[in-house]
Amino acid sequence: MTSDRPAVLTLEGLQGLIEALAAEGYRVLGPTRRDGAIVYDAIAGLDDLPAGWGDEQDGGRYRLVERGDAALFGYAVGPHSWKRELHPPHLTLFRTRREADGFSVEAAADEPEPTAFLGVRACELAAIAVQDRTFLEGPQADPHYARRRAGSFLVAVNCGEPAGTCFCVSMETGPRARGGYDLALTELLDAAGHRFLLEVGSERGRALAERLDARPAEAADLAASRAVSERAAGRMGRRMETGGIKALLQENQEHARWDQVAERCLSCANCTMVCPTCFCTTVEDTSDLSGETAARVRRWDSCFTLDFSYIHGGTVRGSTKARYRQWMTHKLASWYDQFGVSGCVGCGRCIAWCPVGIDITEEVAAIRGEKNPESAG
Amino acid sequence: MASPTRKPRLAVWKFASCDGCQLSLLDCEDELLAVAGALDIAYFMEATRGRIEGRYDLSLVEGSITTAHDAERIREVRRRSRRLVTIGACATAGGIQGLRNFADVAEYAAAVYARPDYIATLATSTPIAEHVPVDFELRGCPISKRQLLEVVSAFLAGRRPVTPAHSVCVECKLRGTVCVMVAHGTACLGPVTHAGCGALCPAYDRGCYGCFGPKETPNPASLSGRLAALGMDGGQLGRVYRSFNANAPEFRQESQRHGRQDEPQDDQG
Ligand code: SF4
Ligand code: SF4
Ligand code: SF4
């Protein structure tokens, strides 16, 4: 492949892509089937991908299903997001040691391995762009995120099979990747064979693509790829009306709906943990028995915990109502004030992985006063 | 830090319990020398026979109060202790023996013992904090050895222990475990249960049993709705909250909400 014109990879060509990434020194992560879900983990080749598996998702429910075809990427986003890699759940920041005259502080080594992500969905590219604003463009850039981000190679795979919980069309983030990737694939599975349209999105992507065994794409391949995205866009499981949403939420802080959702909400924090844009952390200081060493570890936190809003004298958001309202209002309204974009990319994870199936699209519709929000989509 | 001239004195006390929690301390094989180096282990029934009178800087208390004698003894322990930390579900919630609180203890005794008149016991099993002021409660059945070391280290450094009161779900998500309830339809108490175990059971494909008791601001009524949708009937809902932490207020109320008309039969079976 010699130009930015789209190309076509066979299955062997895809295997070649994985091997080329490994040869470049990347740790390659991709989708794989484990514990009844499609999770992201290390992959060595096509055999690790979830061939023939798809999923059914709804509020509080996720099930793998056999598709009856050989699709390698025929699933929608699952329990993991790339946030785990770019913004890890635990990170040791520094260690201290008692010295004769006080103590010394030593920053913890942080040398993340260059990592390639295979199978990044359009909503996930959007989520990474949202976290870039938080961690790279704000007044306080996060060096840990910056290192991981600089060392990551993103291979997008356009969605062909949205889940019942997806609403990227409403959030204008998908289903087709529009940039922010190194390479983008569309899986094509039709009479012309099992193949992948390959598009280049960066210099790095071009350099890698040039080493692959690919043929130039024909008009039929391009049309087939567009058709995959159009079909996916027409099959969103959910939708969210976003017009005036910031004012809607900021002006309805005392809406009766907050009390109703608080009756159901477990304040378990699952929604914030699975959300690919939620960024909050706390730090935990530990010391050893001898009192010689101590360490500070950063870990994911959530606005659903009491400690999160604990200040001198007590917790600010004591009620579940206040905590749910904080989460949803931050995602959909105050995120604009803070970062200039929505904090929600429409991936639907918070709906599927909420144990009681609380649905952010349904909550928005209810605050709008829409009738019968469940029939949306 | 404690003064280097004298090591703080540690005592481990046992009330109605299975010994599992204090064995967690002996189980800290790698760290036991460090514990012994940092503290003077002055009283520890599981590890030594010699009883040392006096005062203790840190008392770890295992077990619940089930007899009038123990109700008196815990006051004595409190008087002798600068800091008193309760460890485990028995000491913090009343333990599995707290099931007696839902039943007639005289009937229990008659069913179990040949000479129930030899048994002198209270009608209830209650946590230590109902009897004396407690400085810190460490949850779990059994407690986590990692958290026990954290509590002791924090005591020595004069800082607050890091034992978050959020849900077990957070621990699942931190370790990347796939939710067993959402992905498999397995009943799980994780969303209402206090973290601490590291989300052990879901990592082995089981639902959480609630060993660490209720989390901060739990909502078991909402979870029960979900468990019912997964197929639990009223009797099962009554029982699922009724194990090691049956007597913890939020679990007790939720179990009682689910029709216990069948209680006498259950108690026979
Ligand atoms: S919704 Fe909550 S956890 Fe997520 S970023 Fe906002 S404050 Fe943090
Ligand atoms: S708020 Fe929910 S749907 Fe939106 S990005 Fe986060 S997890 Fe996805
Ligand atoms: S909305 Fe759902 S996932 Fe989020 S805290 Fe409430 S119950 Fe948990």
Q: Note the pLDDT tens digit of each residue in B172-226.
A: 999 999 999 999 999 999 999 999 999 999 999 999 999 999 999 999 999 999 9
Domain holding B231, by residue range, is 168-257
In a domain, B80, yes or no: yes
Mutating which of B32, B222, B224, B250 best tests the A interface, going by the most A Cβ atoms within 10 A?
Answer: B222
How many of the other CB atoms lie within 10 Å of CB of A4? 12
CA of B8 to the centre of ligand 1 (A): 42
In a domain, B203, yes or no: yes
Q: Which amino acid, residue A376?
A: A
The answer to whether A71 and A84 are in contact (CB under 8 A) is no
> A256-264 vs B220-229: helix axis angle to the nearest 10?
60
Final residue belonging to a domain, choices B126, B157, B188? B157
CA–CA gap between residue A77 and residue A160 (Å, rounded): 11
User: Looking at the structure, do residues B109 and B143 belong to the same domain, yes or no?
Assistant: yes
In a domain, B181, yes or no: yes
CA–CA gap between residue A344 and residue A335 (Å, rounded): 9
pLDDT, tens only, B3-26: 456 899 999 999 999 989 988 888
Q: Which ligand is nearest to the CA of A357?
A: 3
User: Looking at the structure, do residues B118 and B194 belong to the same domain, yes or no?
Assistant: no
Q: Nearest CA to B189 among A86, A236, A266, A245? A: A266
Collapsing DSSP to helix, strand or coil, A98 comes out as strand
ipTM score over 0.85, yes or no = yes
- Asked if A279 has any chain B CB less than 8 Å from its own CB, the reply is no
Q: Do A290 and B150 touch (CB under 8 A)?
A: no
User: Looking at the structure, do residues B181 and B56 belong to the same domain, yes or no?
Assistant: no
The answer to whether B180 and B205 are in contact (CB under 8 A) is yes
The answer to whether A24 and A208 are in contact (CB under 8 A) is yes
User: Looking at the structure, do residues B36 and B102 belong to the same domain, yes or no?
Assistant: yes
Mutating which of B153, B167, B182, B226 best tests the A interface, going by the most A Cβ atoms within 10 A?
Answer: B182
CA–CA gap between residue B42 and residue A168 (Å, rounded): 63
User: Looking at the structure, do residues B96 and B227 belong to the same domain, yes or no?
Assistant: no
Alpha-carbon gap: B176 to the closest alpha carbon of chain A (Å): 7
Task: Render the burial of B245-269: b for 16+ CB within 10 Å, e for the rest.
Answer: bbbbebbbebbeebebeeeeeeeee
**E strands present in A23-131:** 27-34, 37-42, 53-58, 61-66, 90-99, 102-107, 115-120
User: Looking at the structure, do residues B71 and B177 belong to the same domain, yes or no?
Assistant: no
How many of the other CB atoms lie within 10 Å of CB of A144? 17
Number of domains in chain B: 2
**What residues are paired with B126 via a beta bridge?**
B65
Final residue belonging to a domain, choices B157, B188, B218? B157
In a domain, B266, yes or no: no
CA of B20 to the centre of ligand 3 (A): 34
CA–CA gap between residue A79 and residue A38 (Å, rounded): 8
Write down the mean pLDDT value for chain A: 95
What's the pTM? 0.94
DSSP A49-65: S-TTEEEEEETTEEEEE
Pairing of strands A115-120, A152-157: parallel
Tokens describing residue B33:
């020398």
**E strands present in B174-256:** none
Residue to probe by mutation, ligand 1, list A135, A249, A272, A281, most atoms within 8 Å of CB: A272
User: Looking at the structure, do residues B139 and B189 belong to the same domain, yes or no?
Assistant: no
User: Looking at the structure, do residues B144 and B197 belong to the same domain, yes or no?
Assistant: no
Q: Which residue, judged by its Cα, is nearest atom 6 of ligand 3?
A: A265
Given B181, B185, B219, which is nearest A320 (Cβ)? B219
User: Looking at the structure, do residues B153 and B82 belong to the same domain, yes or no?
Assistant: yes
In tens digits, chain A (377 residues) has pLDDT values of 445 789 999 999 999 999 999 999 999 999 999 999 999 999 999 999 999 999 999 999 999 999 999 999 999 999 999 999 999 999 999 999 999 999 999 999 999 999 999 999 999 999 999 999 999 997 789 999 999 999 999 999 999 999 999 999 999 999 999 999 999 999 999 999 999 999 999 999 999 999 999 999 999 999 999 999 999 999 999 999 999 999 999 999 999 999 999 999 999 999 999 999 999 999 999 999 988 999 999 999 999 999 988 888 888 898 999 999 999 999 999 999 999 999 999 999 999 999 999 999 999 999 999 765 444 43
Between the alpha carbon of residue A103 and those of residues A97, A114, A291, B5, the distances in Å are 5, 34, 11, 21
User: Looking at the structure, do residues B208 and B128 belong to the same domain, yes or no?
Assistant: no
User: Looking at the structure, do residues B137 and B25 belong to the same domain, yes or no?
Assistant: yes
In this predicted structure, what is the pLDDT of residue B48? 54
Cα–Cα–Cα angle for B187, A353, B208, nearest 5°?
Answer: 30
- The arithmetic mean of pLDDT across residues B90-108, rounded, is 91
| CATH code: domain of residue B80 | 3.40.50.700
